[in-house]
Each structure stands twice: as C-alpha cells, then as structure tokens.
A and B are shown apart, each in its own frame.
Chain A
C-alpha cells in the first residue's frame, strides 16, 4: 500500500466491478423477476423488473403443486448427502495412506490419482451407463450416487492438507494406542475440518446442480433431482408456463444460496485454504 488510490480511480474501479456484478446477476434477477409475474406480463415488449400485478402466490403454489417439487428437493438432499458422506469415507483413508504411510509404489499411486483428475466425467459416461445397465441399477438412487463415491479431487485435496499435519501427531496417536483407522477418524478428521468443509462445498454444489448424469440414468419421476425436476416443468402437459418454471428454479437454487450466505466466512476460508496449501 504505497499510496491511496485517487478518487477517480476508485470510482472507475467500482464502476467496473458493478458492471461485472450486474452482468453476472442479470439472469438471476430476470429469473426472480419472472417468477413474480403473471403470464400476461412475462412476454411484454419492454423490460419491466417489477410487475404491475404480483403473481407470487400463484406461481409458487403452482411450482409446488404441478410437480412434486418438494420430493425433488428431498431427492437432491438424499443424493448430495450420500455422495459426500461416501466420498469422505473413501477419500480420508486414501489421503491418509498417500500422505502419511510408507509403502512401495506410493509415489506412483499418487501419480495415478493425479492422472485420474484429468479424466472428464463425460468421457466415461457411456461405459458407465452400459455397466450400470449390465448390473441393473439404472434408474435408482444407486445410479445417482455410486459413480461419485471415489472422488479423486477429494483424495487429492485431503492428501495435500494431511501433508501439513505434523508426523509427530500421528506418532503420538500411535503411542497412545489409537489404531491406524482410528487415527484417520479421531485425529486426522478433526484437524482437517477446514479442508473438509471446502471439499464439502465443492462436492455438494457440483452434485446438487448436476444435470448431465441424472438426465442419463433417471427415467422415473420420483427419482428426479432438482435441476431435472425444473426441466420437467417445461414438458408438463400444459406446455411451458414460465412463471411457475422460474419459481421452481428459484426454489431449487435457494438452498445453496442460503447455505452460502450462512456459511460465507467458512466458504471463503475453505477456498483460500485450498489455494494456499
């Protein structure tokens, strides 16, 4: 901080930031605005952010009644929580082994993990689909959850964090009589809460919003995840009704936005942490 920026520069800077923010927020603003309008006001030839006639109750009631939106939300919760819990169950022991245990081929194994980071999920979606067809778990919760249980990113992230945990702590735990698995859950897990939070955010956001994979494996309506559920609104027999559709989209986004606002500090800490380590 050598000199205070001049007023002109400050104004310019903020103007630019505002412009960027407006650009990013515009679709969201439009979504919320549309979700408030009656159908007569949606296709006007001029921009109107706040409707003359509010249709909040109608649109949001329609969102919940025309399709089982609550059920979709519940599906989203079940799927994202299961995925994250199972990811942790796999990633923590793996990360512990890769960072703190000595065994032959450790470096090679870690290189393989890094290599797996490079595989785009879409590339393996067709073989995965065929495999699931073979074992007969298409169109089920398992199909939504199983492909993501082994999170290479999670293993990598936790391994990097575990590298910073002093070896003495693990040796102390061994002297105290804690088993190797005990060390993972009783010692490493509590010290890794910040990293785990960051990973949790990435995981939950990614799988809550995932459209691609559920679209491939799910047919039954009762298994639809929130993004698919919203899409289902377009295909309802009544044709596309944009008011309730946007209301549903708003509802689907809301949990993540609210979670972010509540855990904003942790969120940023977690991201900063992953950048640092």
Chain B
C-alpha cells in the first residue's frame, strides 16, 4: 500500500500535447478514479504511472520514491486491462501464477519441463500454487483453474485478470477501463465487486473510466480530466454538487445538468431568456454567464409563479422517477430536464409549465467556464477570471 504522487506530468506525442502538467496526489489506500471523455489523456496518465509510457516531463513518485527511471516490473504495480490481456496459451491457474513465477523463480528454474527439476524450484512452485488457489477462491474462480482463457466468458476472464493482478500484493492496482467489455448487467455487478475488493484489500487503486456512473459509484475521489488536464479532484459528492468547471458539471451526472446562458443585470439578478431570476452573481453587470442546475434540484410549478416558463417537449417515465423535458423560450436551446417523483399527475406534451429554482441556489459559471459565486455573501470568496 502506497501513495502515488504525480507531479507536473506532460506528455507529447509528436506535436500533439496529450497531457499538460498534470498534478495529482493519490493517498495510500485510496480508490482514485480518472474519468473523462475518450482522448482526454487518462489512459496515457495511467500508463505513465505504470511505466509503460515515458513522460515528456514531470515525475511520478510511489511511496515517496521517484520511479521515473524504473521499468514497469520494478515499480511493483499491477494492471488490469480493458481487453483482459490474458495469455491465451496458458491455463487460468498458469496465468495467475505468471507474476509470481517471474519474480520468485530464477531463469533456469523457469525452463519448460526441466525447470521443475532444478534445485529449489519444487518448493517455490508449491508455494505459488497455494497462493494462486487462495486468490482464485477469493474471486470465485477456483473451479476454472485448469481452463484456457478462450473457454471463459467475459466476466470470468475479468476475474482472472483481477486475480493475476492481486496475486502478488502490489503497492497499487491500475485499472484501465476494466469493465467496458462487459454487458451492462454484469458491469453493474462487477462495479460493486471491485469496490468491495478495494475495501477488503485496502490497497491503492487507480481506476480509469469514461463512464461517470462507474466513477461516481466506486471512488473515494474522482479526478475529472478534459483535454489533457485535471479539472477537479474531489469526492464524488463534491464533484456532483459542487463542480468547479462547467465541463465537470456537464460530464458528471445522468441525465446531464441543465445549462442556460444568462446575462448579469445591473440590479443583481440574471436575465435568462425572457425572464429574470433573482440570483446574485459574483460577476460585473452585463457579463454573460452560464446558469446550471441538476434535474432533481428544480421543481415543476405553476407557470405564473415560476422563474422559468416553457412547454413540455417530452416525458420519460423511469418508474421511480419521471424526467420531464421542458422547452424554454424560442431559441434553439435543448430542453431542460426536471426530475420529479411520480405523483399520479399526468404531464401532457405541449402543456405549459413553470420551473421553480428557489429550492436550491443554481450553479453559476463565468465566461471562461469556471465556477463563480452566487449571492452577495459569497462574492468576496471567489475571484472572477
């Protein structure tokens, strides 16, 4: 178990800058998720930590020791790949045993056929077999040890890959989208299982995914990455409710956060479409800002009294919730989504409806996409620009 410090990592592939000065401190035993759209550099960052890719500048420290000059094998990390990357010619048991055999047996003891007769090899092999069995039992794949990866289902292969990573008790686990090849149902199941595994092992996990749901459900902290930079590092709760950047707000959460362009009025309110919302923004009058709110932080209301008015464009019934899509104003804005509890009321398409935002202050983002304060009290805390 070890903390991992990522310090000013930059990576260029030719002229394209994939990572721009990424700093990230991962605490010992933490489940840290790197999340972001594809191409944001999250996998590259993970591969740099693993030592599979060399950074252009910056350094990585594992347990306060710089590892930049170490080969992957000497960093004592284990990695789980999206494609599982099991050795197709070895059985499940042999696959799991590889990291141990490579570390514990000397070259001549690993010779095919003859190796077993080398002095000392038998005992080591027996110890390895016992450990492999223990790990397999933990992952519930003990009955598959004699099979080849080709005979396994996706979920079973995933477990074998996990077993191969776990077997040598590395300082940290690196996982590169390990669930994205599984079907939706199994993915949800494995999500819980990996989170439990983390709790049981107590080892540092770095988990890369483009799926914000995986990030939200499993992590201690999330690092949201976009265009080669880390935008925000915080707990899932904070990232969801208190995003520092409009891109974070838009990436995290499903359905997506509602965003409306607004103008700061001289009297302190916000002009949105044809109405005025009584929210004071920490920005000079006349500035264009973005007003954002989560679907569950708004209420449907009587159009006469609500801050925003529009017509219902679409209704999605999820059983536990109803998502009401409301088209506000005449401009080409995508409809706003409001999450309501099913209360027997049927919403008709085309019905006039209001959206009430008074229950919770909306999030405001400045011209550059950074979060700005709401209300006079918080104006001093947040610097604009």
Stretch at the interface among B75-83, B282-290, B375-383: B75-83
Is B325 positioned at the interface, with any CB of A under 8 Å from its CB? no
Residues in A with CB closer than 8 Å to B83 are 166, 168-169
Stretch at the interface among B97-105, B185-193, B355-363: B97-105
Contact B88 A168 (CB under 8 A): no
Residues in A with CB closer than 8 Å to B79 are 171-172, 175
From residue A134, how far is it (CB to closest CB) to chain B in Å?
39
Residues in B with CB closer than 8 Å to A173 are 87
For A169-211 the 0/1 string (1 means CB < 8 A from B) is 1011111111000100001001101000000000000000000
Identify A176's interface contact among B88, B89, B99, CB under 8 A.
B99
Is B19 positioned at the interface, with any CB of A under 8 Å from its CB? no
Contact A174 B52 (CB under 8 A): yes
Identify B102's interface contact among A168, A177, A191, CB under 8 A.
A177
Is B339 positioned at the interface, with any CB of A under 8 Å from its CB? no
Identify A174's interface contact among B72, B84, B87, B88, CB under 8 A.
B72
With contacts A171-B52, A175-B78, A176-B164 taken as known, whether A190 is within 8 angstroms of B87 at the C-beta atoms is yes
Contact A178 B102 (CB under 8 A): yes
Residues in A with CB closer than 8 Å to B63 are none
Chain A residue at smallest Cβ distance from B84: A168
Contact B103 A168 (CB under 8 A): no
For B74-118 the 0/1 string (1 means CB < 8 A from A) is 000111011111111110000000110011000000000000000
Identify A175's interface contact among B50, B87, B89, B90, CB under 8 A.
B50
Identify B88's interface contact among A175, A178, A191, CB under 8 A.
A191
A-B contacts besides A168-B82, A178-B98, 9 pairs, CB < 8 Å: A171-B47, A171-B72, A174-B73, A175-B52, A176-B99, A176-B164, A177-B103, A178-B102, A193-B89
> What would be 28 A-B contacts, judged by CB atoms less than 8 Å apart?
A166-B83, A168-B81, A168-B82, A168-B83, A168-B84, A169-B87, A171-B50, A171-B79, A172-B81, A172-B85, A172-B164, A174-B72, A174-B73, A175-B52, A175-B72, A175-B73, A175-B77, A175-B79, A176-B73, A176-B102, A177-B72, A177-B73, A177-B103, A178-B98, A182-B102, A190-B87, A190-B90, A191-B89
